[in-house]
Structure 1
Amino acid sequence: MSVLVGLIVMLGMLVVVPLGLRLVDGPGPSRLSRWWPLLAAPGAVALWLPRGPAATALAAVYAAATLALALHAPARLARTRSLAPAEIAVLTALASPSVAGLALVAERSGHQLFGFDLEILALTVPHFHFAGFAAALVAGLVCRASADRPAARCAALSVPLGTLLVLVGYFVDDWAELAGAVVLTAGMWAVALVTWRDVRDERQDRTTRTLLAVSAAVLVATMLLALSWALGEATGLPHPDLTWMAATHGLGNALGFALCAVLAWRRLEETTA
Structure 2
Amino acid sequence: MSILVASVVMIGMFWVVPTGLSLLDGPRPPGLDRLRRAWPLLAVPGALSLWLPRSGLSAGLAAVYALATLALAYQAPARLMLTRSLRPREVAVLTALASPSVAGLALVAERASYPLFGFDLDILALTVPHFHFAGFAAALVAGLVCRASEDGPTARFAALSVPAGTLLVLIGYFVDDWAELAGAVVLTAGMAAVAVLTLRERRDLAADRPTRTLLAVSALVLAATMLLALDWALGEATGLPHLDLTWMAATHGLGNALGFAVCALLARRRLRAGGVPAVPAAAPAHPRTESPA
Indicate the TM-score class for this superposition, using the shorter chain for normalisation: over 0.9
Structure of higher RCO (CA pairs closer than 8 Å, 6+ residues apart): 2
Secondary structure of 2:51's match?
coil
Matching residue of 2:5: 5
CA contact (8 A) 2:202 2:212 kept: no
Identical-pair percentage: 76
Counterpart residue type for residue 111 of structure 1:
Y
Secondary structure of 1:71's match?
helix
Deviation at 1:75?
Answer: 0.5
Counterpart residue type for residue 133 of structure 2:
F
Matching residue of 2:127: 124
Matching residue of 1:43: 46
The within-5 A match list for 1:227-238 is 227-238=230-241
**Could you tell which deviates more after superposition, 199-208 or 225-234?**
199-208
CA contact (8 A) 1:8 1:254 kept: yes
Residue in structure 1 matching 2:254, options 251, 257, 264: 251
Q: Over residues 156-197 of structure 1, what are the superposed CA-to-partner deviations in whole Å (9 max), with x where a residue is unaligned?
A: 000000000000000000000000000000000100001102
Matching residue of 1:262: 265
Tell me the distance in 2 between the aligned counterparts of 1:98 and 1:271: 32
CA contact (8 A) 1:201 1:209 kept: no
Which sections of structure 1, spanning at least 5 residues, go unmatched?
none
C-alpha distance 19-247 of structure 1, shift in aligned 2 (>3 A): same
Matching residue of 1:19: 19
Deviation at 1:199?
Answer: 4.8
Which sections of structure 2, spanning at least 5 residues, go unmatched?
277-293
Residue in structure 2 matching 1:80, options 74, 83, 87: 83
Residue in structure 2 matching 1:100, options 85, 88, 103: 103
Tell me the distance in 1 between the aligned counterparts of 2:23 and 2:177: 35
Q: Over residues 187-232 of structure 1, what are the superposed CA-to-partner deviations in whole Å (9 max), with x where a residue is unaligned?
A: 0010000110245436521111111111001011100100000000
Q: Over residues 77-131 of structure 1, what are the superposed CA-to-partner deviations in whole Å (9 max), with x where a residue is unaligned?
A: 1110000000000000000000000000000000000000000000000000000
4+ runs deviating over 6 angstroms? none
Counterpart residue type for residue 20 of structure 1:
G
Tell me the distance in 2 between the aligned counterparts of 1:61 and 1:159: 28
The within-5 A match list for 1:49-68 is 49-68=52-71
The within-5 A match list for 1:157-196 is 157-196=160-199
Tell me the distance in 2 between the aligned counterparts of 1:73 and 1:242: 32
C-alpha distance 262-198 of structure 1, shift in aligned 2 (>3 A): closer
Matching residue of 2:139: 136
C-alpha distance 203-188 of structure 1, shift in aligned 2 (>3 A): closer
Matching residue of 2:92: 89
Secondary structure of 2:124's match?
helix
CA contact (8 A) 1:63 1:98 kept: yes
Tell me the distance in 2 between the aligned counterparts of 1:14 and 1:45: 12
Residue in structure 1 matching 2:212, options 185, 191, 209: 209
CA contact (8 A) 1:111 1:118 kept: yes
Counterpart residue type for residue 218 of structure 1:
V
C-alpha distance 232-203 of structure 1, shift in aligned 2 (>3 A): closer
CA contact (8 A) 2:206 2:212 kept: no
Matching residue of 1:224: 227
Tell me the distance in 1 between the aligned counterparts of 2:120 and 2:272: 41
CA contact (8 A) 2:69 2:104 kept: yes
Tell me the distance in 2 between the aligned counterparts of 1:98 and 1:194: 28
CA contact (8 A) 1:145 1:199 kept: no
Counterpart residue type for residue 163 of structure 2:
P
Q: Over residues 23-44 of structure 1, what are the superposed CA-to-partner deviations in whole Å (9 max), with x where a residue is unaligned?
A: 1124443332211100011100
CA contact (8 A) 1:214 1:256 kept: yes
Tell me the distance in 1 between the aligned counterparts of 2:37 and 2:202: 27
TM-score (norm 1): 0.98
Counterpart residue type for residue 151 of structure 2:
D
Tell me the distance in 2 between the aligned counterparts of 1:71 and 1:49: 29
